[in-house]
């Protein structure tokens, strides 16, 4: 099949040359979809010949490079995005199918990795330099273009360059990933070394286009994740950990070294910030599987110090007045807060993860005071909402630990109270910011979530206090214990009175209504449940206690009736 491959290759080159001559002869002609299809069909013929080759010759790589170079050059000359996309799809499919058809003993050696490295570097240099050659055409006098070919527009040239660079970055990573899937024992140094070189090239290309850095970061993290899970808990390959740290350092410091301040693209800074988050979870999972380290909280602390140091350097370099500068500072500030709040959940227990979410959300809302970027508020609200949903709607939270010996001073108290305090603090901050739009009502929702958590904590502490000695889990019951039912009724009425008082003092209509609603539920419980279930003494206590609270609430409404009417009419 070697001569068939040669014939197909010559035929494809002749078709490409024919299209170039047509374009040079008629500068105003545009490539139709049938003209685009011709070189792609030639590429398919060559690809079929390559797949039918019984011996995996190293010469197939130069042949593939020659074909890709011809089609990419043709697509740049003609300005055809369709031709470039077709070449990209066919190249990925050809190399992927070829590697799947290779014998396992060939894939299991390290002979493919040098070719992958050469292939990737050649493509990057080609695509990086080719737009510059074509850009020189547009700088010549009118009617005189290099080689007689028509020049491309700036927008199309930039789009094709972005597409080509993304292809040149992602294709080698895909080849590495496919190679890892067929190897029993992948060579760590070869795989990580090529990944690191490609990461450096992606960071270098991202000086003008930041999206390249984000694409390279995602691809490099995929390779590291695949290799780390391939070795499982084999801690003999501790070099993987060193390679992960090196990858993190490359993406972190590239925007600081390449360009200072805001001159670097925003996506480049975002990739630098997100590199810490992605590599933290990779390093944490590797250490957790491979080593028995009792002080894992030091890992997020170390990442927090690095992120805070980067934020400190950026604080004086980037302007706080522009939207792009605030966005960059917000990313690094949010990542720093994330690592700080991860110290306690990782070092101690499950409930600290929920507490960490609440603290992280409050920290992001507080950070808005220094960097007025709406993304901080959005992520802060999302994290606090997750913490609320987990504590309010997830019954598994109550089973994280067995009941302790102390009925009130237990882990329920610090978990729910810390989350509620964080939510209240964030609500107070957002109210003072004077925001508009959806964030204008966010403080009211946060106050409501914090109040519900406090009410849940009240009921949890009552259930824990009256739980049977020796019981391992918490159970909510409303029958069989007169003192517990009485305590529920009195506590609900007092909590309702507190809501009414706060609603009147702060002129919060929703809070007053919530208090009145809870007081109505408490009265219904007393008349429909307590009177029939409690004995005479507890029945009298429930009636008197709830009645006294209702009387005090009515006194408050009578005293502040005029103020409440004025506030209602004003609204």
Per-residue pLDDT tens digits for 86-95: 777 777 777 7
Nearest to 343 by CA among 397, 299, 387, 389: 299
Assign residue 468 a region (left: φ > 0; alpha: ψ between -120 and 50; beta: otherwise).
beta
Instruction: Give the list of residues 6+ apart from residue 526 with CB closer than 8 angstroms, or none.
Output: 489, 542, 543, 546
Predicted structure pTM score? 0.70
pLDDT in the model for residue 136:
56
Q: Which residues of the chain have pLDDT under 50?
A: 28-29, 137-150, 261-262, 568-571
Let me know: does 140 contact 146? Beta carbons within 8 Å.
yes
Helical packing angle, 482-505 and 442-465, nearest 10°: 160
Instruction: Quickly tell me which residue has 């003008």 as its tokens.
Output: 208
**190, exposed or middle or buried, with CB in 10 Å at 0-12, 13-18, 19+?**
middle
pLDDT tens profile 346-391: 876 656 778 888 988 999 999 888 888 888 888 899 999 999 998 8
Rounded to 5 degrees, what angle do the CA atoms 154, 155, 158 make?
Answer: 85
pLDDT tens-digit series, residues 110-159: 566 777 777 777 777 766 666 565 555 444 444 434 444 445 556 666 67
Work out the number of other CB atoms within 10 angstroms of the CB of residue 293.
10
Q: Report pLDDT for 465.
A: 82
| 14, 400, 457 from 411: Cα distances, Å | 77, 10, 11
DSSP 187: -
Q: Is 266 helix (H, G, I), strand (E, B) or coil?
A: helix
Q: Which tokens sit at 449?
A: 């979530």
DSSP assigned state of 149: P
Would you put residue 322 in left (φ > 0), alpha (ψ -120 to 50) or beta?
beta
């Amino acid at each position: 099949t070697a001569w068939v491959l040669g014939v197909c290759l010559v035929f494809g080159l002749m078709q490409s040359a024919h299209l170039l001559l047509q374009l040079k002869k008629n500068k105003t002609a545009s490539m139709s979809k049938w003209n685009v299809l011709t070189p792609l069909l030639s590429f398919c013929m060559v690809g079929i010949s390559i797949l039918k080759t019984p011996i995996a010759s190293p010469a197939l790589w130069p042949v593939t490079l020659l074909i890709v170079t011809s089609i990419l050059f043709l697509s740049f000359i003609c300005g055809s995005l369709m031709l470039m996309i077709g070449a990209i799809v066919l190249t990925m499919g050809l190399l992927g199918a070829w590697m799947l058809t290779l014998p396992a003993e060939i894939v299991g050696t390290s002979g493919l990795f040098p070719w992958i490295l050469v292939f990737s570097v050649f493509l990057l240099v080609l695509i990086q330099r080719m737009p510059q050659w074509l850009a020189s055409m547009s700088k010549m006098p009118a009617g005189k273009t290099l080689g007689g070919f028509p020049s491309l527009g700036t927008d199309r040239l930039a789009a094709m360059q972005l597409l080509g660079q993304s292809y040149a970055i992602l294709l080698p990573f895909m080849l590495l990933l496919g190679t890892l899937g067929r190897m029993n024992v992948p060579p760590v140094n070869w795989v990580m070394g090529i990944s690191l070189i490609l990461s450096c090239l992606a960071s270098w290309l991202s000086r003008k286009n930041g999206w390249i850095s984000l694409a390279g970061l995602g691809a490099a993290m995929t390779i590291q994740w695949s290799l780390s899970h391939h070795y499982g808990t084999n801690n003999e390959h501790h070099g993987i950990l060193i390679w992960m740290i090196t990858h993190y350092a490359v993406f972190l410091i590239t925007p600081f070294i390449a360009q200072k301040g805001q001159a670097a693209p925003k996506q480049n800074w975002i990739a630098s910030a997100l590199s810490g988050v992605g590599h933290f979870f990779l390093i944490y999972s590797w250490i957790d599987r491979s080593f028995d380290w009792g002080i894992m909280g030091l890992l997020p602390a170390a990442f927090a110090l690095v992120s805070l140091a980067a934020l400190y350097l950026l604080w004086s370099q980037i302007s706080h007045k522009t939207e792009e500068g605030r966005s960059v500072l917000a990313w690094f500030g949010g990542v720093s807060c994330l690592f700080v709040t991860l110290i306690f959940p990782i070092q101690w227990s499950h409930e600290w993860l929920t507490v960490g979410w609440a603290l992280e959300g409050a920290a992001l809302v507080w950070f808005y005071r220094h960097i007025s970027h709406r993304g901080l508020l959005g992520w802060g609200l999302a994290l606090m909402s997750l913490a609320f949903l987990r504590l309010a709607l997830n019954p598994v939270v109550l089973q994280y630990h067995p009941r302790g010996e102390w009925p009130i001073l237990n882990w329920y108290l610090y978990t729910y109270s810390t989350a509620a305090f964080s939510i209240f603090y964030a609500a107070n901050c957002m109210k003072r910011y004077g925001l508009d739009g959806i964030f204008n009502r966010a403080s009211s929702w946060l106050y409501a979530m914090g109040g519900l958590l406090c009410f849940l904590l009240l009921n949890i502490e009552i259930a824990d206090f009256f739980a049977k000695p020796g019981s391992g889990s918490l159970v909510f019951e409303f029958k069989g214990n007169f003192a517990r039912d009485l305590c529920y009724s009195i506590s609900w009425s007092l909590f309702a009175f507190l809501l009414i008082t706060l609603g009147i003092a702060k002129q919060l209509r929703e809070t007053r209504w919530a208090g009145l609603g809870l007081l109505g539920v408490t009265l219904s419980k007393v008349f429909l449940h307590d009177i029939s279930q409690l004995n005479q003494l507890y029945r009298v206590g429930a009636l008197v206690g709830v009645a006294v609270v209702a009387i005090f609430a009515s006194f408050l409404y009578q005293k502040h009736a005029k103020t409440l009417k004025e506030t209602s009419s004003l609204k």
